[in-house]
Chain A
Amino acid sequence: MKKYFSILLSCFALSLQAQVTTITPGKIAPDIKLKNINDKVVSFADYPSAKGFIVVFTCNTCPYSRRYEQRIIELNNKYSALGFPVIAVNPNDPQSSPGDSFDEMKKHAASNKFTFPYLYDEGQLITTAYGAKNTPHVFVISKTARGNIVEYTGAIDNDAENTDAAKTKYVEDAISALLNSSKPAITVTKAIGCRISWKKTQ
């Protein structure tokens, strides 16, 4: 009996993983309504004058996220004034990754001086809706007459280690294009980083 149960469980785990498909450019960006580290709920509607958003799935614990943290702060500092603020979402389940609990998020954002909301995705529904795969995983979104549209998804740039001055800055390039009323030349890259810690199915 126990054996069948474990087979059933592993099938369930597989099907859960298989369900996560990254949303593709051109599709409507699912609305976000999540609790920020200051305990207030944040959603797209809180930004009436924004032209779009830089949604970043990132966390406290992943070395890639940490490598990119300063670059995420710089993105927000540069582009929030131009209409594209950063909204960060922690996708990890706190039981699977205790270092990514809501309390740890508060501490982490304070000690690293986050200048943007850092939202807690309880139940991982938004993470699933976007199909975020790894941390950090970015979605550049523009507000249009059709609604909020995904314009770019993937990595921030092609140099996680941050040693190449001539790196390709995918997110900056995508937003520059949008600010020039055109479309990004590159719309999908791979979000290199740590696999998202999903809630264990038991």
Chain B
Amino acid sequence: MRKYLLILSLFCLPFFVFSQKINLITIDQLNDRINKGKDTTYVINFWATWCVPCIKEMPAFEKFEQNFKAEKIKVLLISVNFKSELNNSVLPFIKSKNLKSEIFLLDEKDPQEYINRIDSSWSGAIPSTLFIKNEKHIFFEKDLTYDDLLKEYTSIK
């Protein structure tokens, strides 16, 4: 019996190791989430699997969230990959990176519409990052380092 359990757990192991999930999110759902999380600082990063500078800055976001676990801070990594790329690109990517932050795929159709709802100054290029705390809103259309994250977090919190 124990032997079977062992075999079973071996089979299950990969599912525990690669437990990173991805959910779809609309701008409405994102806004709901932010409104519910009063006093939390949200650091919302827009990225895609094909965007080299996005992948390069990802570890800084991960490290930042881990280092400030005790504070009210939440990193959301929102992929703007096409929905048709979910199974072939996005899921394999997040499994291979074993990311700790919450990951989403943006569930919107018309970029002309959703981009302005994130920030009217956004050209739509990535990486871009939005800091939100209550009424405060700071948007960056550029790559960010760990030090940048620290600086902006200090200024908004």
Contacts and interface: CB of A to CB of B under 8 A. Distances in A.
Interface of A: 63, 67, 133-134, 155, 158-161, 163-164, 168, 189-195
A195 B125 contact: yes
Contacts, number: 46
B125 A158 contact: no
A158 B111 contact: yes
B77 to A, nearest CB: 18
Among A159, A161, A189, A191, the one with the most B-chain Cβ atoms within 10 Å of its Cβ is A161
A155 B84 contact: no
Given A192-B111, A192-B123, A194-B51, 11 more contacts: A63-B50, A67-B82, A133-B123, A155-B111, A160-B111, A161-B82, A168-B112, A190-B124, A193-B124, A193-B125, A195-B126
B78 to A, nearest CB: 15
Given A63-B50, A192-B115, A194-B51, A164 B125 contact: no
B51 A190 contact: no
B110 interface: yes
Interface of B: 48, 50-51, 82-84, 109-113, 115, 122-126
Contact of A194 (B84, B115, B125): B125
Contacts of B126: 195
Contacts of A190: 111-112, 115, 122-124
A168 B112 CA distance: 10
A157 B112 CA distance: 9
Nearest to A162: B82
B119 to A, nearest CB: 11
Contacts of B84: 161, 163
A144 B126 CA distance: 37
Given A133-B125, A161-B82, A190-B124, A155 B112 contact: yes
A158 B110 contact: yes
Contacts of A195: 123, 125-126
A22 to B, nearest CB: 9
B109 A159 contact: yes
Contacts of A155: 111-112
Among A63, A192, A193, the one with the most B-chain Cβ atoms within 10 Å of its Cβ is A192
A152 B51 CA distance: 28
Contacts of B112: 155, 158, 168, 189-190, 192
Among B110, B122, B126, the one with the most A-chain Cβ atoms within 10 Å of its Cβ is B110
A164 B108 CA distance: 12
B82 A191 contact: no
A134 B123 contact: yes
A155 B111 CA distance: 10
B132 to A, nearest CB: 21
B115 to A, nearest CB: 6
Given A134-B123, A190-B123, A194-B51, A164 B111 contact: no
A134 B141 CA distance: 12
Given A63-B50, A161-B83, A134 B110 contact: no
B124 A134 contact: yes
Nearest to B113: A158
B51 to A, nearest CB: 7
Q: Please name the 8 residue pairs, one residue from A and one from B, whose CB atoms are nearest each other, closest first.
A: A192-B124, A195-B125, A161-B82, A192-B111, A158-B112, A158-B110, A63-B50, A133-B123
